């Protein structure tokens, strides 16, 4: 269930975005004005959950600042088309005009990845868990992600929150997240305990 407080706050921001600029014209469709108050209000809406210059407001919300740009764009498109079914994100993605999706992805990709907390530093794993090498084929040996790997963009995993990583791995494994068939197959073949160890290891990098 969507947190009502967040939905109310984001709804107010979306309303502000809708009145901040005139109607979207044909000229704007080819070259969106990324300096407009309307577009800025939409980006502000994203930061209410994902954070502005720091970590997201809750651990289960993924870090998107400094994430692979192509990956962010694909997720926005998947949310909009409901290939990835998260109600709040589908709602948020349709507030963006299609031509604004790439600039929005670029905006967050160019931000620095949040610094690790002291607690995360202490929790850093000393040895790579079993099965982690399979992730390196697409996400690179340092788990920093890649613009294109095996036909799709691969996100940065290093330093992503444990809560988000384990939820995503399990969703791929049980088929509730369907927007990457390769990941569904890989995660379904990994034991739950190994997914747990992998998520903890990656989040501590």
Tens of pLDDT, residues 109-164: 999 999 876 655 555 556 899 999 999 999 999 999 998 876 789 999 999 999 99
Query: What is the rounded average pLDDT of the residues 165-183?
Result: 97
What distance in Å separates the CA atoms of residue 113 and residue 156, rounded to the nearest whole number?
A: 10
Q: What is the set of domains in the chain, with CATH numbers?
A: 4-26+33-109 (1.10.760.10), 118-203 (1.10.760.10)
pLDDT score of 175 more than 80: yes
| Cα Rg, the chain, nearest whole Å | 18
> The dihedral of CA 77, 80, 82, 87: what is its sign?
positive
Identify the residue whose tokens are 């294109």. Answer: 148
Query: Is the pTM for the entire model greater than 0.85?
Result: no
For residue range 27-74, list pLDDT tens digits in order: 444 567 777 899 999 999 999 999 988 899 999 999 999 999 999 999
The answer to whether residue 98 scores a pLDDT higher than 60 is: yes
Concatenate the DSSP letters of all residues of 74-123 into one string.
Answer: HHHHHHHHTSS--HHHHHHHTTS-HHHHHHHHHHHHTSPPPPPPHHHHHT
Helix, strand or coil, per DSSP, at residue 60:
coil
Give φ, ψ of 186 to 5 degrees: -65, -50
Q: Which residue has the tokens 């739950």?
A: 192
- 90, burial (CB in 10 Å: exposed 0-12, middle 13-18, buried 19+): middle
**The pLDDT of residue 8 is above 90:** no
pLDDT of residue 177 exceeding 70, the answer is yes
Confidence at residue 53, expressed as pLDDT on a 0 to 100 scale: 82
Backbone angles phi, psi at 83, to 5 degrees: -75, -25
């Amino acid at each position: 269930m969507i947190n009502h407080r967040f939905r109310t706050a984001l709804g107010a921001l979306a309303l502000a975005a809708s009145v901040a600029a005139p109607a979207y014209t044909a000229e704007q469709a080819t070259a969106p004005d990324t300096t407009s108050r309307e577009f800025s209000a939409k980006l502000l809406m994203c930061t209410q959950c994902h954070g502005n210059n720091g970590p997201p407001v809750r651990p289960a919300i993924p870090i998107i600042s400094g994430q692979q740009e192509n990956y962010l764009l694909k997720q926005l498109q998947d949310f909009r088309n409901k290939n990835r079914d998260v109600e709040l994100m589908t709602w948020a993605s349709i507030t963006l005009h299609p031509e604004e999706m790439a600039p929005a992805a670029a905006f967050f990709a160019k931000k620095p990845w949040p610094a690790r907390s002291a607690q995360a530093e202490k929790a850093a794993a000393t040895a790579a868990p079993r099965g982690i090498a399979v992730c390196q084929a697409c996400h690179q040996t340092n788990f920093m992600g890649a613009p294109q790997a095996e036909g799709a963009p691969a996100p940065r995993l290093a330093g992503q929150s444990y809560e988000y990583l384990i939820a995503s791995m399990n969703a791929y494994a049980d088929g509730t997240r369907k927007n990457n068939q390769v990941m569904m197959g890989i995660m379904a073949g990994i034991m739950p305990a190994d997914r747990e160890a992998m998520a903890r290891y990656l989040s501590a990098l």
